A and B are shown apart, each in its own frame.
Chain A
Amino acid sequence: MAATLPTQAEPDPASQLPSYTAEEQALILRNDEGIPVSVTDKKPWTPLKIIVWALIALAGAAGWTALAISRGERVNTVWFVVVAVCTFAIAYRFYALYIEKRLMRPNDRNAVPSERVNNGRDFDPTDRRILFGHHFAAIAGAGPLVGPVLAAQMGYLPGTLWIIVGVVFAGAVQDMLALFFSIRRGGRSLGQMARDEIGRVGGTVAMVILLLLGTFAVAVLALVVVNALAESPWGVVAVGSTIPIALIMGLYLRYFRPGRVLEVSVIGFVLLMGALVAGRQISQSSWAEHLMFSPVTLSWALMAYGFVAAILPVWLMLTPRDYLSTLMKVGTIFVLALGIVLVRPWSEIPALTEFASNTKGPAFAGTLFPFLFITIACGALSGMHAVIVSGTSPKMIQKESQTRLIGYGGMLLEAFVAVMAMAAAASINQGVYFSMNMSAGSIDTLAAPVIAAMSPEEAAALTPADKAAIAIGQLDVTNAAGEAVSIEWETAENGVVVTTTGAEALEQIARDCGEPSIISRTGGAPTLAVGMANILRQLLGGHSMMGFWYHFAILFEALFILTTIDACTRVGRFQVTDVLGNWFPKFKNPSWQPGAWLGTAAVVALWGSILLMGVTDPMGGIKSLFPMFGIANQLIAAIALSVITLMVIRKGYLRWAWVPGLPLIWDIAVTFTASYQKIFSADPALGYWKLWSVTRQAIASGSLEGQALANAQATLRNSAIQGTLSIVFVSVTAVVIVAAAVKAVQTIRTKDTTTSEDPFMPSRLFAPSHFLASRLERKVEKEYAAVGDPALLIGRRARDLKP
């Protein structure tokens, strides 16, 4: 590799210079020294191009028609993919470009932070294609997979519409603008930018609430993992094995083969697949009963893991885990896309179900507006991106004109993952879907009237699957044909494909997946795993591979989430010790062990207590906490979008303030309505405080005893905590938004557009703007290889630079 670096070979530069035509020359931007810095993108509309875009538009329109118009007949999920790809292509080419030209106005004559500092560490000019990969790996995790699965209870259409429209007008716009404004401000983080723009007090409040909201989000993700692994020996073996595998990888990289990241990742992957296969044997052996952990035990294990992972040296645990997780992320998403396109599963759910308009949905409570837009946060609009990404990608990007590719394009890819998750969830039989996403409490409540009419012997003989099947019969929901939902599952017995129904089907799925039970496996991850496994087994392995693919999917989701948990715990630890360091200077020293332990313990205690609250919630933790995860994430987006809108106004671009302003208003409407309902609703299924007062009355009446009393006490405690958190989150966010609005009004009145952007600095760096370089860009790259600054050429791809 080193031998091909342009710094080593020093042939005569003049012989390497390409020759340009006069038109080409006119398109090349050069700085005062004559070094090329950019190529103006002025490609005329040729008939061929017009035809291609017309075809994309037509295919998209056909897809939308198939999804939106068809009623009473099944829709193929491949249309989800077609619609997403066509709409995203048009949005990227037209809307994102419009924002770029009118609002951002990237100036490639201006040097970006990576060029200004260029220290080879965090400020490192990185090839746009590599940065796209890094950026995507940083933003996409379990969120876009879980949200759409839960939203599928309302039908496929609302969720798919929101993901696609949301990402085009809100999520991708937020990511792109946050990235761009950070690039213009030396790569500062969202919190720092909030402080610079809004002022010290508002900015500090923003930083604290961002930390709190982030910790809360971690707790809910942890709950998803716990729900997926509880009472699942196979899952525990597979996910648990990632810890020793990460240790082996860490030691291998440290002492045996330093720098061989790919090699060690492949070794880790092979070991992981070995553990996955071994997991089946173990789950069928006598060890299995020792690996059946309750949610509470698993929560404590997760907290212990989070604590240890955050204080160990990073090379031992965090970094190798991250390699494994990224490999699985990219690989599995690719395999899932392949599966959907090749298998083309039919959607089993209608476009809209009854739960879109009532609050009786078992996966999450609440009507379509606002709760659909809360449940699907990641994939459509994710505030966390602005926080996570504003610290890294702006320091690595090479040119301002690459912002659309990295910011907008990266988020479109995450939305594509969300659409695939929706397709996988939609391909599951509705009866199965609801059996998995009803909490045990909901099943008991729904089935109670039917069971009450049975004889005591009959009632005593009911299995959990029987009860779930009875509950499904009582669920007020219909399928695409308008009939009552039934439970059906196709399996193979001795090579013959048979369809099982009702309680038998639920037991058969559990057998096929190698799980003790699949009933009430809430949280979205197990549902997605069944959907994915059912698609992937058609691609490879048939019915006998169902269990392998199911646990493969669980493993992949758990890996993401655990990586998020340990990374966020570590980041949180540094933030806590940083704050404590203001009073006790010793905390500022990161290698002071007691400080590290105390800081880590504080962060773990914070998310751990929320996690414990979730797993012990009698109503099912996901149902009560997942909406708050969405609200937290969307409130971060509200802060990010207000800071962005303020920056647009302060730039003097009031005309274009609607670009981030409209999604901001929409997001405020969604989050504040949802918070209002969560706090004030008179429906106990929705309002935390109504639930609290109803429960308190029930306890006071003295009619409850035993388990029912204990449940009521837990509900009383949890609803009070969740209600309080809802109030804190929304009111603190309101303070930040109001502070930003005040500043915006001041700016409009005084017309003071003193910019907080870094002063202009002439660029000496050339790099193409788009993922694929144009012919002229490739030519200029070769010229730049000869005339450019060698220190800026280090990150370049050798092949692109050959004359």
Chain B
Amino acid sequence: MRLHLTGLGRFWRSLVWFVRELAGETAYDRYLARCRLAEAQGCSRPLTAAEFWRARGDQEPPPRCC
């Protein structure tokens, strides 16, 4: 029973991860992680969440085919 539950739980977590990544909800976390790495190269003041999402909103949406 527990094995079954953990299996289901794992599936659910995978699904949540997949959908959030696909929708791009994790973009700000990634950006911060990137910034932290680049600190030495002058990324001293990362954008706030609001600034980041505003800039991201101005990006062109992905291309769509037929």
Contacts and interface: CB of A to CB of B under 8 A. Distances in A.
Interface string B15-48: 0011111111111111111101100000000000
B66 A133 contact: no
Given A130-B21, A314-B59, A315-B58, A143 B66 contact: yes
Given A314-B57, A797-B17, A799-B17, A388 B25 contact: no
Given A120-B31, A259-B28, A318 B66 contact: no
Nearest to A133: B22
Given A130-B22, A259-B53, A633 B66 contact: yes
B33 A259 contact: no
B65 A385 contact: yes
Interface residues of B, number: 37
A254 B66 contact: no
Nearest to B10: A799
A803 interface: no
A114 to B, nearest CB: 13
B54 interface: yes
B23 A322 contact: no
A399 interface: no
B50 interface: yes
B64 A258 contact: no
A797 to B, nearest CB: 6
Contacts of B24: 261
A313 interface: yes
B65 A5 contact: no
Contacts of A130: 18, 21-22
A256 to B, nearest CB: 11
Contact of A138 (B21, B23, B65): B65
Contacts of B26: 1
Given A130-B21, A133-B22, A2 B29 contact: yes
A2 B27 CA distance: 10
Contact of B64 (A127, A315, A567, A795): A567
B66 A322 contact: no
A628 interface: no
A175 to B, nearest CB: 11
Contact of B66 (A1, A382, A570): A382
A567 B63 contact: yes
Contacts of A292: none
Contact of A134 (B19, B52, B54, B62): B62
A5 B63 contact: no
A313 B54 CA distance: 12
A181 B36 CA distance: 34
A353 interface: no
B62 A139 contact: no
A790 B25 CA distance: 21
A756 interface: no
Interface in A309-330: 313-315, 318-319, 322-323, 325
Nearest to B50: A258
B33 A5 contact: yes
Nearest to A318: B61
Interface in A337-377: none
B29 to A, nearest CB: 4
B49 interface: yes
A217 B65 CA distance: 10
B19 to A, nearest CB: 6
Which interface residue of B34, B50, B52 has the most chain A CB atoms within 10 A? B34
B29 A5 contact: yes
A392 B63 contact: yes
A138 B62 contact: yes
Nearest to B23: A261
Nearest to B31: A120
A567 B29 CA distance: 28
A642 to B, nearest CB: 20
Contacts of B37: 7, 790-791, 794
A143 B64 CA distance: 12
Contacts of B54: 254, 258
B65 A388 contact: yes
A323 B23 contact: yes
A470 interface: no
Nearest to A259: B53
B61 to A, nearest CB: 5
Contacts of B61: 314, 318-319, 322, 567
Given A2-B29, A130-B22, A794-B30, A254 B62 contact: no
Interface in A607-653: 633
A407 interface: no
Interface in A183-221: 217, 221
Interface in A122-175: 127, 129-130, 133-134, 137-143
Which interface residue of B13, B22, B62, B64 has the most chain A CB atoms within 10 A? B64
A378 B62 contact: no
Interface in A1-55: 1-2, 5, 7-8
Interface in A237-263: 253-254, 258-262
B64 A319 contact: no
Given A265-B23, A315-B58, A138 B63 contact: yes
Contacts of A5: 29, 33
Which interface residue of B24, B30, B52, B63 has the most chain A CB atoms within 10 A? B63
Contact of B34 (A139, A142, A254, A791): A791
Contact of B25 (A2, A260, A313, A799): A260
Nearest to A5: B33
A611 B36 CA distance: 51
A141 B37 CA distance: 39
A217 B22 contact: no
A502 interface: no
Contacts of A698: none
B2 to A, nearest CB: 19
A391 B63 contact: yes
Given A2-B33, A5-B29, A5-B33, A388 B18 contact: no
Contact of A258 (B30, B36, B53): B53
Given A121-B59, A258-B54, 8 more contacts: A7-B36, A130-B18, A140-B65, A314-B58, A319-B57, A388-B65, A567-B63, A799-B13
25 contacts: A1-B29, A2-B33, A7-B33, A120-B34, A130-B18, A130-B21, A130-B22, A137-B62, A137-B64, A258-B53, A258-B54, A259-B27, A265-B23, A314-B60, A314-B61, A322-B61, A322-B62, A378-B65, A382-B66, A564-B66, A567-B64, A571-B63, A794-B30, A794-B37, A799-B14
The 7 tightest CB contacts between A and B, nearest first, are A258-B53, A315-B57, A143-B66, A261-B23, A388-B65, A1-B29, A2-B29
